[in-house]
Amino acid sequence: MPSDDPQLNNLIRECSDTIAEVYEACVASQPNFGVSSDSFTESVTDSVSKFLCSGQENPPSADEVREFVRSIRSDDLFLAIACAEGNERAWWEFDHQHRGYLERISRHLASTDLSAQEVIDLVYVELYGTRVVDGVRMSKFATYSGKGSIRGWLRTVIWHALVDLHRASHDEVSLDGMTENVGEGYTHSTFKNKDLGGEDQMIDHLAHEKYRKATLDSIRTSFSSLDDHEKLLLLYYHSEGLKLREIARLAESPGSPLRDWFQRRSAAREKDPSARIHESTIMRWLDKTYKLILERFCSELSGKHGLKQEEIDVCLELATRDLADPDIYRNLASNAG
């Protein structure tokens, strides 16, 4: 069934030679999966719509669509389509290739009160699909786009199955509470209360509030001035507690935009694009970014809020004391709103 978007349908028609080429290669590799050219094209069209059209200002060019079609994990997608359609050989192949992996992930993630076997059963049921809409069985496989590996996709399916099982067994529980019991979890480091020499009696409450508001406003503005890559990496590091090697892992794939982005910031890596992005690269990037934000922060405090150097030091000192009470930022933010 073609898409509702006529522009997308035209693009797909324009790229039909590339889609046919990829489809033929899949059929040659797995002739017994029974996937028709139409269902393959429909699935590719959904993937193009999702990644190249949705949330984008401009529609993609035909060349971009061709590049996208060549970039998808066509063998994995072909397998997923066949499994969604209930092809027995495809299911056998899936079981042969991925069941061991699925079991290892489930055993790794399942805690003492969650049985790994329960998770595996639930995942198989979801993959097969028990809900029928307009006579069509809704298999989870139909949500796989081929953009990532099928194993990466399976990890998210298992993770979500685990969340569902945990919620079912613990009534309502927050995501944070759940992840403390699943896998590594994430921990908030405790705020340190630095002893900076006691209260300065010369600064009264109103002055404190003024400095706090200026500090919050300037942090917010300097952080907002970063591009999304930078913001996300800082949030991963500080808010989610990801380790440097975990962030480096994000930039490991040769086609990753994060990898390109780090490379553009390093002359040495531009010369050798295949060089690994190490934890030290991330650390250096973090150091540079802290300096950049601090410069912008100080310039906001002096420019927009008209504070002198001594007052900026007061802001830093007050903010450091406030680390013992992180709610102060939340309260200030809600008052400002």
Partner 1 sequence: MNNKGIDRDELFREILSAYLRSDIAAIEFEDRDHLDGDTIAAFVEGNLSEREARPVNSHLVDCSFCRHRSAELIRLDLEFAEESAKAPEAKPAPTKVSDVLSGILGKILGAGEGAVFAHQEDETKEEEDRKDDRGESE
Q: How many CB atoms lie within 10 A of CB 170?
A: 13
Residue 281 touches partner 1, criterion: CB under 8 A:
no
Residue 219 touches partner 1, criterion: CB under 8 A:
yes
For 242, residues 6+ apart whose C-beta sits below 8 A from its C-beta are: 236
Segment lying near partner 1 (by CB under 8 A), choices 7-15, 36-44, 138-146, 267-275: 138-146
Segment lying near partner 1 (by CB under 8 A), choices 3-11, 21-29, 299-307, 316-324: 316-324
Residue 291 touches partner 1, criterion: CB under 8 A:
yes
Residue 333 touches partner 1, criterion: CB under 8 A:
yes
Segment lying near partner 1 (by CB under 8 A), choices 3-11, 17-25, 85-93, 267-275: 85-93
R_g over Cα of the chain: 26
Residue 299 touches partner 1, criterion: CB under 8 A:
no
Segment lying near partner 1 (by CB under 8 A), choices 5-13, 46-54, 165-173, 263-271: 46-54
Segment lying near partner 1 (by CB under 8 A), choices 2-10, 165-173, 263-271, 325-333: 325-333
Q: Report the alpha-carbon distance of residue 314 to residue 310 in Å, rounded.
A: 6
Q: Report the alpha-carbon distance of residue 108 to residue 22 in Å, rounded.
A: 36
Interface residue with partner 1, options 40, 78, 144, 285 (CB under 8 A)? 144
Nearer to partner 1 by C-beta: 10 or 253? 253
Residue 111 touches partner 1, criterion: CB under 8 A:
no
C-beta of 260: minimal distance to partner 1 in Å?
7
Task: Give the count of residues interacting with partner 1 (CB under 8 A).
Answer: 114
Nearer to partner 1 by C-beta: 40 or 94? 94
Q: Report the alpha-carbon distance of residue 317 to residue 286 in Å, rounded.
A: 22
Residue 271 to residues 112, 264, 267, 285, Cα–Cα distance (Å): 50, 10, 7, 18
C-beta of 259: minimal distance to partner 1 in Å?
7
Interface residue with partner 1, options 3, 18, 155, 217 (CB under 8 A)? 155
C-beta of 291: minimal distance to partner 1 in Å?
7
Interface residue with partner 1, options 33, 40, 78, 153 (CB under 8 A)? 153
Interface residue with partner 1, options 33, 94, 262, 285 (CB under 8 A)? 94
Nearer to partner 1 by C-beta: 113 or 184? 184
Pick out residues in 9-28 that bind partner 1 (CB under 8 A): none
For 287, residues 6+ apart whose C-beta sits below 8 A from its C-beta are: none
Pick out residues in 228-267 that bind partner 1 (CB under 8 A): 228-229, 231-232, 234-236, 238-242, 245-247, 249-253, 255-260
Nearest to 166 by CA among 151, 190, 183, 144: 183
Interface residue with partner 1, options 20, 25, 168, 196 (CB under 8 A)? 196
C-beta of 271: minimal distance to partner 1 in Å?
21
